[in-house]
Amino acid sequence: MLKKVLIANRGEIAVRVMRTCREMGIGTVAVYSELDRDALHVRLADEAYALGGQTAAESYLNTPAILDVIERSGADGVHPGYGFYSENTDFARAITDLGVTFVGPPPEAIEVMGDKISSRLAVEKVGVAGVPGRSQTLVDASEIVTFGEEFGWPVAIKAAYGGGGRGMKVVQGPNEAKDALESAQRESLNYFGRSECYLEKYLAWPRHIEMQVLADTHGNVLWLGERDCSAQRRHQKLIEEAPAPNFPDEIRRAMGEAAVKVSRACGYVNAGTVEFMFQDGEFYFLEMNTRLQVEHPVTELVTGLDLVELQLRIASGEEIPFTQEEIEHRGHAIEVRINAEDPSGGRFSPSPGTITRFDQPAGPGVRLDAGYAQGDTISQYYDNLIAKLVVWGADREKARRRMLRAIEETVIEGVATTLGADTVILSDEHFVNATHSTNWVETGLDFTTLPTLGPTPVSVGEGTVRKDVTAEVNGRRVSVALWVPEAGDEVLPRAHSTAAKPRRQHHAGVVGSGSGTVSVPMQGTIVKVTVEEGQHVEAGETVIILEAMKMENVVNAEKSGVVKSIKVKAGDSVSAGDVVAVIE
C-alpha cells in the first residue's frame, strides 16, 4: 500500500482525497500557491509545500516545482484529483519515471480517450455506438451540408480535442454551415490548442447519463452504476443524482456492460467514467473521463463504497475486493454544486471574495464536501466551486426534500452562491417528474426572480437600500426588511429577497460605474470583441466575451453611445479592472 500521497490539487477535491488517506493511515502532502498558503487543503495535510505563484499555470501546473516537492517529501504516490494534471500524460509519465505511482489510469488510456475522434473509433470497434456521425476531421463546410441532407438537420459540429462541451456548435441548416464551422474551429483552437472538428447528428432533448467504472491491474473491470447529470447550464453541471430516474434496469445493465467494454478497449485501470447521452430509450457513447469526477459522491452514497479508497488500493496493485454481483445499490443520492457565482437574472457571474459566514448543513443523510471554511477567500484565479452538498434518501422524493432542507440550513455570506438556482431547479416540476434534459435549465427555467446580488444595489429612491434584520416582537422572532441609507464602504446586504426568509447573502462583486469606460470585472482571457470602433451600442449590449474562472462571461456596455476605442483583442490576457473599451 502507498505510504505517503502528494495531492496535486486544491480545494474540495484535495480535501476529499486527504480524508480517505487519513482514514487509511496514508500520509498526506499538500502543495499550495501563494494565494492558498492558509487554504483548507493545506491546513488538513500532514505536510505542505509552497509552489509559489498565483495563477494555476504558475503553481498547480508548475511541473518542475511539483516534481521537486515529490522528491523532497518522499511521497510514493500522487493523486491528481480532477482538472489540473488529472488527464496530463506528460505529468503521469514524468512521475512514473521517478518511480512514483500515479493514482489514475495508464497514460495510453488517457491518450485514446483524450481525443474524441480516436475514442469514437475505439468504442465502435468493440460494438458501442456513438451518436450517428462521422469519425473524420472536417475539412470544408460543404461536408456539413452533405451530412445534414443525408441525416437531417440540425447537425452538431464538435471539437475533436474538446471536452466539457466547448467547441460544440449546432447547425440548423445549410446557410449556417460556414459560420458555425469557423466559430467551432476558432473556439477549439482557443481552448484546446487544436482546431480539428467532426460531425454528429444533433440530439434535441438528450439526458446526460454517465456510468462509473472501476478497473484493477488484475483484469477485473466492474460498473458501479450511473449518475444523471442532465441538470446543467452551459456545460457546467449544477445537480447530479444516482440512480438516474425513469431509467429501466435492463438499460442500466446494458449501459454498464457497454462502459466495461469501453474501459477494456482502452486498457483502462483505476476509477473512470463513461459518458452517454440517452434519448428515446437509446444511449450513445459521448466520451470517457479518465479521472475521478466531481460528482463521484452520489455513487458512493448509493453503493456504500469509497471510490478514493478503491483508487488507492488499485494504484497499490490490489485486486478489487468484490465482484460485479456483490455491488448493491440502495436508495437515492443527489448532489448540488455550491459555486461562488451570482445566478441572479440567469447570469451566473463569478463572485470571488471572502466567505464571511458559512453555516454548514448537517443532520440525517447529509454530506458536505467543502474546500473552504468561514473566513477563507475564493480567488478569481481558480475554479469557484466552494462545496458539494450531497444527500441520501430512501427514494428520490425523500432525497429531494432532504436536499431542500439542507439548502435551507446552509448560510453563506460574503460571496454570492448558486444555492438559490439549485432551489429553483429542485422545485421545478420538470425536475420533480424527471422529464428534464440537458437543454432544460437554459431553455425552460426562469432565474429572473432570484434576488439581485449583482453590481447594482437595489434602490428604492436615491441612496436607499434594503437591509434584512431579525427582531423580537412580543417574544417572537421575526424577519424585518429595513430601507436604510446606503452606507459608504460598509458591507450591507444587497439581496432584495422576495422569499419569506431573507437569503442572507452578501455580495463582494464589482460595482458598475454606469460610465463610458468598459472594464473587466476579473482576470481572464478575451475570447471575442463583439463591437467595432465607431459603432453605436445600447446600454446592456455585449462588448466583450471574457473567459474567466472556467466560464465565458459577457461584459456589457453600461451606457449607450459610440464606441470610441477598443483596447484589447481576442487572446489578450486582462486583469481585474482593466479598461477594455471606451464609449462616448
Nearer to ligand MV4, 205 or 322 (CB): 205
- CA-nearest of 575, 570, 547 to 166 is 547
Nearer to ligand MV4, 185 or 523 (CB): 185
Least distance from ligand MV4 to the Cβ atom of residue 152, Å: 12
253: left (phi over 0), alpha (psi -120 to 50) or beta: alpha
Least distance from ligand MV4 to the Cβ atom of residue 337, Å: 14
Tell me the window of 171-179, 201-209, 260-268, 393-401 that interacts with ligand MV4 (CB under 6 A).
Answer: 201-209
Distance CA 140, CA 162 (A): 19
Site for ligand MV4 in 214-233 (CB under 6 A): 232
Under rule CB under 6 A, how many of the chain's residues touch ligand MV4? 16
Nearer to ligand MV4, 151 or 322 (CB): 151
Q: How many CA atoms lie within 13 A of 554 on its CB side?
A: 12
Least distance from ligand MV4 to the Cβ atom of residue 235, Å: 6
Taking the chain, what is the end-to-end CA distance rounded to the nearest angstrom?
66
Binding mask 126-165 toward ligand MV4 (x if CB under 6 A, else -) reads: -----x------------------------x--------x
23 burial type by CB count under 10 A (0-12 exposed, 13-18 middle, 19+ buried): exposed
Distance CA 220, CA 317 (A): 12
Q: Assess 264 for contact with ligand MV4 (CB under 6 A).
A: no
Least distance from ligand MV4 to the Cβ atom of residue 289, Å: 10
Position closest to ligand MV4 via CB? 165
CA 126 vs CA 75, 123, 161, 273, 300: distances in Å:
38, 5, 22, 17, 29
Q: Cβ distance 127 to 121 under 8 Å?
A: no
Residue 35: other Cβ atoms inside 10 A: 17
Least distance from ligand MV4 to the Cβ atom of residue 120, Å: 11
Q: Assess 425 for contact with ligand MV4 (CB under 6 A).
A: no
Copy the grid coordinates of residue 417. Answer: 452562491
Give the chain's length: 584
Residue with cell 479521472: 291
Tell me the window of 199-207, 260-268, 389-397, 427-435 that interacts with ligand MV4 (CB under 6 A).
Answer: 199-207
- CA-nearest of 459, 442, 390, 450 to 417 is 450
Least distance from ligand MV4 to the Cβ atom of residue 274, Å: 13
Q: Assess 202 for contact with ligand MV4 (CB under 6 A).
A: yes
Q: Assess 5 for contact with ligand MV4 (CB under 6 A).
A: no
Least distance from ligand MV4 to the Cβ atom of residue 101, Å: 30
Copy the grid coordinates of residue 79. Answer: 493523486
Q: What is the DSSP secondary structure assignment for residue 463, as one 8-state letter?
A: T
Site for ligand MV4 in 435-454 (CB under 6 A): 438
Q: Assess 65 for contact with ligand MV4 (CB under 6 A).
A: no
Tell me the window of 74-82, 194-202, 266-274, 289-297 that interacts with ligand MV4 (CB under 6 A).
Answer: 194-202
Q: Assess 203 for contact with ligand MV4 (CB under 6 A).
A: yes
Q: Cβ distance 541 to 557 under 8 Å?
A: yes
- CA-nearest of 282, 291, 236, 292 to 255 is 282
Give the footprint of ligand MV4 on this chain (CB under 6 A). Answer: 131, 156, 165, 168, 200-203, 206, 208, 232, 235, 277, 286-287, 438
